[in-house]
């Protein structure tokens, strides 16, 4: 039972956030998001909300105009991790983590984050449309979405969906939905390699500690398949763009 619990905890244990993003790149995005004192920050599909916490801290939490944040997700374990992180940084009075569907959230905010969560809305176009309803006038949206850096094989396209477009197509989709691009940057190869490695790392370490566990063969097969897909399939093919958008 203990090793099973360890396995559950190990899944995202080595990940800072569930997206290909370096510390330096994250700092740039928070800067471009330009969170003001007293702002309300919303993260839809927040996971454990690491970037949300940093955005709220950047806005400032001291005094009568403290910045406040809400993270929304359907993963109870991730939300619990977010609450622990908030408490460890004395942000628990300023950031709430809520169980809920991103697509049904209606309370607006001054700054909105939605990274790698377009599927929760039904795809990129649906997300770019729906997110207009939760951003207050004059606000900014940090939108993270996948795109093709190079043409994928049929197998890779099947994994990520035929709707995924190239970077010009993604930017044009934002424009067509009434957004202005205030900042654009993309994950580089080192960020992708670190993301994929840390996605695997917690459970790789679990395997080394529990090689005879009854779940070891299943976990080993899953991790080996993911590594093969990445190295032999979408490494250098799938990109991730971070767009700071206004309207």
Average pLDDT of adjacent 10-residue blocks, the chain of 247 residues: 72 95 98 97 98 97 92 96 97 97 96 96 96 97 97 94 93 98 98 98 96 96 97 97 97
Asked, for residue 4, whether it belongs to a domain, the answer is no
Helical ranges in the chain per DSSP H? 2-10, 23-33, 50-59, 76-88, 124-130, 154-160, 167-176, 189-209, 216-229
pLDDT at 208: 96
Q: Is the pTM of this model over 0.75?
A: yes
For 79, the domain range is: 37-188+239-246
Asked, for residue 163, whether it belongs to a domain, the answer is yes
| Structural domain count of the chain | 1
pLDDT at 63: 80
CATH number where 147 lies:
3.40.50.150
Asked, for residue 101, whether it belongs to a domain, the answer is yes
Asked, for residue 90, whether it belongs to a domain, the answer is yes
Q: Which strand (E) or helix (H) includes residue 139?
A: strand 135-148
pLDDT at 161: 85
Asked, for residue 97, whether it belongs to a domain, the answer is yes
């Amino acid at each position: 039972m203990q090793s099973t619990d360890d396995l559950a905890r190990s899944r995202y244990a080595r990940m800072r956030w569930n997206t290909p993003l370096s510390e330096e790149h994250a700092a740039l995005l928070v800067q471009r998001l330009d969170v003001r004192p007293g702002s309300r920050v919303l993260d839809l599909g927040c996971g454990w909300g690491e970037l949300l916490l940093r955005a709220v801290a950047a806005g400032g939490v001291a005094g009568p105009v403290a910045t406040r944040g809400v993270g929304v997700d359907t993963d109870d374990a991730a939300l619990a991790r977010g609450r622990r992180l908030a408490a460890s940084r004395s942000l628990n009075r300023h950031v709430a983590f809520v169980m809920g569907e991103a697509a049904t959230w209606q309370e607006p905010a001054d700054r909105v984050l939605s990274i790698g969560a377009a599927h929760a809305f039904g795809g990129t176009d649906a997300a770019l449309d729906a997110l207009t309803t939760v951003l207050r006038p004059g606000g900014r949206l940090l939108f993270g979405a996948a795109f093709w850096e190079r043409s994928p094989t049929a197998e890779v396209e099947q994994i990520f969906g035929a709707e995924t477009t190239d970077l010009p197509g993604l930017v044009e989709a934002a424009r067509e939905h009434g957004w202005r691009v205030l900042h654009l940057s993309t994950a580089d190869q080192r960020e992708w390699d670190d993301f994929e490695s840390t996605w695997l790392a917690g459970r790789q370490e679990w395997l080394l500690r529990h090689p005879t566990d009854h779940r070891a063969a299943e976990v080993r097969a899953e991790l080996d398949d993911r590594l093969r897909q990445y190295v032999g399939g979408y490494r250098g093919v799938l990109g991730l763009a971070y767009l700071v958008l206004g309207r």
